[in-house]
Amino acid sequence: MGLMSAGSALYRALQLPSQCAVCRSWPSQRLCQHCRTTFAATKARCPLCALVLTTAQCLQCLRSPLPLAACWAAVDYAYPWSELLARYKFEQDTGLGEPLVDLLLHTPGVGPALADLQAPDYLVPLPLSAQRLAERGYNQAWELCRRLHRRSRCRATVSARLLLRLRHTQAQSELPRDARQLNVRDAFWVDPLATGQLQGRQVMLVDDIMTTGASLAAAATALLEAGARSVSALVIARTPP
């Protein structure tokens, strides 16, 4: 049994009976197997931006490619995941972190991306501004990142200080698509004292939701300009176009 399989088996063994957060069945787990099968079916996605492929080549990446070497998403940002992620993100339901990470670990391609020979050097959560962190009480991306690292036993270093948020910005969800890129331009920064650690390294960004990719693109640009060799991303949900 591989490390990831062993980790998933241990996670399932340690789960306490609960009510499914989607269908409300009891006793169950926070996400029952029926709901996982029904709402988290595997879809063919673009390896660079994680949009569901409807043609042989991703039209979005042909028009405006993101500065990402690869990107994985477990599900579309739609029912029931939009509701669960809102609870996880805004209502302090951090118990949903484990089943959400479990979805990500069972996403095709994620296992090899975290394997010893191909693993990134750093797992980095998308940072929040100090104001947003104070309002929310925790960074949902950091919670996902540390759980992902523990569950997969990835050899990467987890760092919440490598990438910083320079300024507070308006919530991306409040802005139209065209304004999102401008909103996060130059919002991320790599501490000059940490740039030596980044030279020639591979970084994997972790976040909960990817909508247009503007935030991930701005973060990736900051890391690449600071010397990272490549930047990839893992997200729970990807908003369809």
CATH assignment at residue 141: 3.40.50
Residue 204 is part of which domain span? 42-170+183-238
pLDDT score for 176: 61
Residue 175 in any domain: the answer is no
Instruction: Please state, in angstroms and rounded to a whole number, the distance separating the CA atoms of residues 30 and 98.
Output: 9
pLDDT in tens, 16-45: 667 899 999 987 788 999 999 999 999 999
Cβ neighbours of residue 193 closer than 8 Å, sequence gap 6 or more:
none
Closest to 68 in 3D by CA, of 183, 211, 214: 214
Cα dihedral 185/189/195/198 (nearest 10): -70
The count of domains in the chain is 1
Residue 39, token pair as written in the block? 């709402």
Instruction: Render pLDDT for 133-188 as a digit per residue (tens, 0 to 9).
Output: 888 899 999 999 999 999 988 889 999 989 998 866 656 555 566 656 666 677 88
Asked whether residue 30 is assigned to any structural domain, the reply reads: no
DSSP H or E run through 11: helix 3-14
**Within a domain: 112:** yes
Whole-number pLDDT of residue 184: 65
Q: What angle do CA 89, 146, 41 make, to 5 degrees?
A: 65
Instruction: Look at residue 241 and tell me whether its pLDDT is greater than 80.
Output: yes
User: What confidence tens digit (pLDDT) does each residue in 174-214 have?
Assistant: 556 665 666 667 788 998 888 999 999 999 999 999 998 99
In a domain, 36, yes or no: no
What separation, in Å, do the N-terminal and C-terminal C-alpha atoms of the chain show?
A: 38
Residue 87 included in any domain:
yes
Indicate whether 19 belongs to any domain. Answer: no
Q: Could you tell me if residue 17 is inside a domain?
A: no
Q: How far apart are CA 101 and CA 68, in angstroms?
A: 21
Residue 122 lies in a domain: yes
